[in-house]
């Protein structure tokens, strides 16, 4: 059931669990995410970057695939389809394409410009029934060509952006996209505590969910994080399972070269990661 992310995240913030944003890359990813959500009775957010949408044939293609699949598979749990790290133009394109939620990432602009553009995007999103995520303090690491410096957000700036009327807010707290380096110092819980205080119950978003230790995830949720984004971990699991299938000679046995067989272990591996995330984030049975 396609919805925007407002109700699911308000409920998560109130009941102290987090909804997983699972980024999708193709049909197998989408199906793995949707069926696991249904099996675990968990709400889910399908994350789509501009780069992933381009790969899949455009924003409208992704919406048509995901919404039609949701219907054909009889998915009844709440599902949001959300633009991840959107530019100004991508946000407009996603509203037109039928997304139910968008992230406008103005964190790399001077703060005043982030405020002005976020304000404009909130109006556009809300006029069309979508939810809007904004970002303060760039998330480090590299994602689809977007490179941040791993900033730690200024709580006063978070409050200013939150007061514009965003539905949920991503604040940099030392998290980065991709695999964490060995010398990573962990999440900055002092800043998260301050951000949560000044934004008064607004659902907070933790990007870079791959590889954050379970206790840090749980502490972040207890402090107000209600949405956690996961991308790289599914990609690594998919790649490892596909590699194993081929190295074991799976594609050379009978009709093992059939893509429905070749991609099956990877899809199962994604399902396993998604299920583990639902369990860790506490969203099982919440739909």
Instruction: Give the active site residues.
Output: 84
Q: 185 — phi, psi (to 5°)?
A: -95, 0
Instruction: Decide whether 39 or 144 has the Cβ nearer to ligand 13P.
Output: 144
Closest CA to 78 of 177, 179, 165, 6: 6
Nearest to ligand 13P of 25, 229 (CB atom): 229
CB-CB contact of 266 with 25 (8 Å):
no
* CB neighbours of residue 76 within 10 Å: 12
Q: Note the residue count of the chain.
A: 287
Q: Are 46 and 37 in contact (CB under 8 A)?
A: no
Q: How far is CA 175 from CA 81, 118, 181, 205, in A?
A: 23, 22, 11, 11
Whole-number minimum distance, CB 180 to ligand 13P, in Å?
8
Question: Nearer Cβ to ligand 13P, position 84 or 90?
Answer: 84
Q: How far is the CB of 69 from ligand 13P (least distance, A)?
A: 21
Q: Least Å distance between CB 252 and ligand 13P?
A: 32
What's the CA gap between 189 and 41, in Å, rounded? Answer: 30
Residue 261 Cβ vs ligand 13P, minimum distance, rounded to whole Å: 27
Tell me the C-alpha distance between 242 and 280, whole Å: 25
- Distance, in Å, from the CA atom of 198 to the CA atom of 211, rounded to the nearest integer, reads 28
- Is the Cβ of residue 187 or residue 230 nearer to ligand 13P in the bound state? 230
Q: Which is nearer to ligand 13P, 131 or 245 (CB)?
A: 131
C-beta of 6 vs 85, nearer to ligand 13P: 85
Summarize as ranges the residues that interact with ligand 13P (CB under 6 A): 23, 47, 84-85, 177-178, 207-210, 229-233
Separation of alpha carbons 58 and 85, rounded Å: 16
CA nearest to 9, candidates 221, 229, 167, 135: 167
Work out how close the CB of 93 gets to ligand 13P at its nearest, in angstroms, rounded to a whole number. 18
Round to the nearest angstrom and report the end-to-end CA distance of the chain: 11
Q: Are 101 and 121 in contact (CB under 8 A)?
A: no
Contact criterion met (CB below 8 Å) for 102 and 27: no
- Three-state DSSP at 134 gives strand
* In the complex, minimum distance from the CB of residue 80 to ligand 13P, in angstroms, rounded to a whole number: 14
């Amino acid at each position: 059931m396609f919805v925007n992310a407002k109700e699911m995240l308000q409920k998560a913030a109130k009941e102290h669990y987090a909804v997983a944003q699972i980024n999708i890359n193709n049909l197998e990813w989408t199906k793995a995410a949707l069926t696991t959500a249904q099996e675990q009775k968990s709400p889910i957010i399908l994350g789509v970057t501009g780069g992933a949408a381009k790969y899949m044939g455009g924003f409208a293609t992704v919406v048509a695939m995901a919404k039609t699949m949701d219907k054909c598979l009889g998915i009844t749990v709440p599902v949001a389809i959300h633009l991840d790290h959107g530019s100004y133009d991508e946000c407009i394109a996603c509203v037109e394409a039928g997304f139910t939620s968008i992230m406008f990432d103005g964190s790399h602009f001077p703060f005043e410009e982030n405020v002005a553009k976020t304000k404009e995007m909130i109006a556009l999103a809300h006029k069309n029934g979508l939810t809007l995520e904004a970002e303060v303090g760039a998330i480090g690491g590299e994602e689809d060509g977007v490179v941040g410096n791993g900033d730690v957000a200024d709580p006063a700036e978070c409050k200013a952006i939150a007061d514009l009327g965003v539905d949920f807010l991503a604040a940099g707290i030392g998290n980065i996209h991709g695999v964490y380096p060995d010398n990573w110092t962990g999440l900055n819980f002092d800043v998260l505590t301050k951000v949560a205080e000044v934004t008064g119950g607004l659902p907070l978003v933790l990007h870079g969910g791959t590889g954050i230790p379970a206790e840090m995830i749980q502490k972040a949720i207890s402090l107000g994080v209600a949405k956690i984004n996961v991308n790289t971990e599914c990609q690594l699991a998919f790649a490892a399972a596909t590699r194993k299938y081929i190295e074991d000679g799976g594609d050379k046995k009978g009709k093992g070269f059939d893509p429905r067989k070749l991609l099956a272990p990877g899809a199962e591996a994604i399902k396993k990661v998604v299920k583990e995330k639902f369990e860790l984030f506490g969203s099982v049975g919440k739909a």
